[in-house]
A = this chain, B = another copy of it.
Amino acid sequence: MVHPGMVERGSAHVREKRRRRRAEILHGALRAFREKGFHATTLDDIALHVGVRKTALYHYFPDKQSILHECHREASAELARIVRGARTFPSAREQLRYVVREHVRVMTETLEGSPLAFEVTAFSPERQRELMAARDTYERAVRRIIARGIRRGEFKRIDPKVAVFIVLGAINWIARWYRPEGALHAAELGKQYADHLVGGLERR
């Protein structure tokens, strides 16, 4: 006789296994996209990177676009968490340093340098709207931190909108050159980005 508790533990185990396999698929896909670009990547390439057969992918995602979409959603959710986490720092300077460091970590570790930000046009108009809404929310949050820093006299009197483009442009560009197997460590990189991009806003 199967004890109900065993079933519970069994399903939790299965759920955990599925969750891990799902994460492996997303990571394998990101590596494949980085190597060949989204358009040239096939489901076979992704299966090869994950180390499973292509049919196994279909248990998790119906197609390549859905995989890219899920990568985007996870990255967006992580950026939203970062913005919330930044609120615990008292100064705008420390808030922005935290956001820059963590965003660099998302680019290098979560996304492994995959050029997600360059692939928005691969989606249906509906999904594009969803992703752009998430991006706009994030940009507004970063802009508010910068505007607050200007009001508090921490930052120079610049156009916060342009400052956001400078900061996020520099970070998004990481996808153009970063290789996970390279010599640069994510934490070091995050610190240099924060020193450069937040330092450039501070009043002397």
In the complex, which residues of chain B have a beta carbon less than 8 angstroms from the beta carbon of A177?
A: 165
Write the residues of chain A forming the contact surface with B, with a CB cutoff of 8 angstroms.
Answer: 37, 118, 121, 156, 158-159, 162-163, 165-174, 176-177, 184, 189, 192-193, 195-201, 204
Question: How far apart are the CA atoms of A162 and B192 in the complex, in Å?
Answer: 8
Question: How far apart are the CA atoms of A198 and B173 in the complex, in Å?
Answer: 18
Question: How far apart are the CA atoms of A200 and B158 in the complex, in Å?
Answer: 14
Given A192-B159, A196-B158, A197-B200: A174 touches B170 (CB 8 Å cut-off): no
Within the complex, what minimum Cβ distance (angstroms) separates A39 from chain B? 10
In the complex, which residues of chain B have a beta carbon less than 8 angstroms from the beta carbon of A163?
A: 192, 196
Within the complex, what minimum Cβ distance (angstroms) separates A18 from chain B? 36
Question: How far apart are the CA atoms of A37 and B169 in the complex, in Å?
Answer: 19
Within the complex, what minimum Cβ distance (angstroms) separates A174 from chain B? 7
6 further interface pairs, Cβ-Cβ under 8 Å (given A163-B192, A169-B173, A199-B201): A118-B118, A165-B173, A169-B170, A170-B173, A198-B200, A199-B200
Question: How far apart are the CA atoms of A168 and B169 in the complex, in Å?
Answer: 9
